[in-house]
Structure 1
Amino acid sequence: MEQALLPFKRYADFSGRATRTEYWGFSLFNLVVYLAIFAVLMLGAAGGEPGFLYYTGLIILIVYAFGIIIPSYAVMARRFHDTGHTGWLVLLCFIPFIGGLIVLVFMFLPGNDGANQYGDDPR
């Protein structure tokens, strides 16, 4: 759980390195949060017409989504650093479809053993 929350502690830290455990723990944590929020949205819209619960869930979703933008890109940049690549490769996310696939492949790659130009080995 600590690894999943580490990107929130290093909110806008684009320097250094991040392990696969840190990145995927954070991603899994976000998935669970999104599923919980979507469950609230579904319950709020269950009667056919959106009610208070739906709109509350929608506000929470919007606030959370905006709140994780910076830590998401920061942990991706640190993950690129761990593989010895520049963090600017995060910008590949903005290329529809293929960019996201390229980033996904990089997130699965093991990091460099020992120190590299971006810092000490985080393992």
Structure 2
Amino acid sequence: MKYYLRVLKRYGVFKGRARRAEFWLFNLFDQIAMLALSGAGYLAGTEYIALSYGVLTFLPSLAVTVRRLHDTDRRGWWLFIGLIPVVGFIVLLVFLVRDGTAGGNRFGLSPKGRPLQLHPQPAA
């Protein structure tokens, strides 16, 4: 829940990086809320409840997706590869599932806070 609120607080922030947990947990809670509001709208006889929620969360969802791509050292424009039927969706999904680059990249420091190790120490 903290990641969901964190994404909402960073409403239209496209700069920086987002961890996998932040991206996926935001999407999980977003889908649960959309499902609940759709059910409430169905019972109330209106679809505007879920539609309003969808409009309000579109920009944060877009922003966290771009920040997630930044974490994998890709520009936000890679989001448009998802528009290619089937193959584009699979490629985008692979990008979103992969671990972010360790340390810093051109979009900022790692949100995990782990240092970049150029020469890892062997286990003793």
Q: TM-score range by the shorter chain?
A: 0.7 to 0.9
User: What does residue 30 of structure 1 align with?
Assistant: 30
Identity of aligned residues (%): 37
**1:118 and 2:116 correspond:** no
> Are 2:41 and 2:48, in contact at CA under 8 Å, matched by a contact in 1?
no
- Are residue 82 (structure 1) and residue 75 (structure 2) matched? no
CA offset digits 1:73-122 (Å, max 9, x no partner) = 11111001101111111122333333222222211100011011100110
- TM-score normalised by length of structure 2: 0.82
Q: Structure 1: give runs of 5+ residues left out of the alignment.
A: 45-52
Partner of 1:12: 12
Q: Which residue of 1 aligns with 2:118?
A: none
Provide the C-alpha distance between the structure 2 equivalents of 1:73 and 1:93, rounded to a whole number of angstroms.
Answer: 13
Name 2:39's counterpart in structure 1.
Answer: 39
- TM-score, normalized by length of structure 1? 0.83
Aligned residues: 112
Q: Which runs of 5+ in 2 are unaligned?
A: 113-124
User: Any conservation in 2 of the 1:13–1:74 contact (CA below 8 Å)?
Assistant: yes
State the AA in 2 paired with 1:24. W
In the aligned structure 2, how far is the partner of 1:93 from the partner of 1:76?
12
Structure 1 runs, 4 residues or longer, greater than 4 Å off: none
- Higher RCO structure (Cα 8 Å, ≥6 apart): 1
Corresponding residue for residue 82 of structure 2: 93
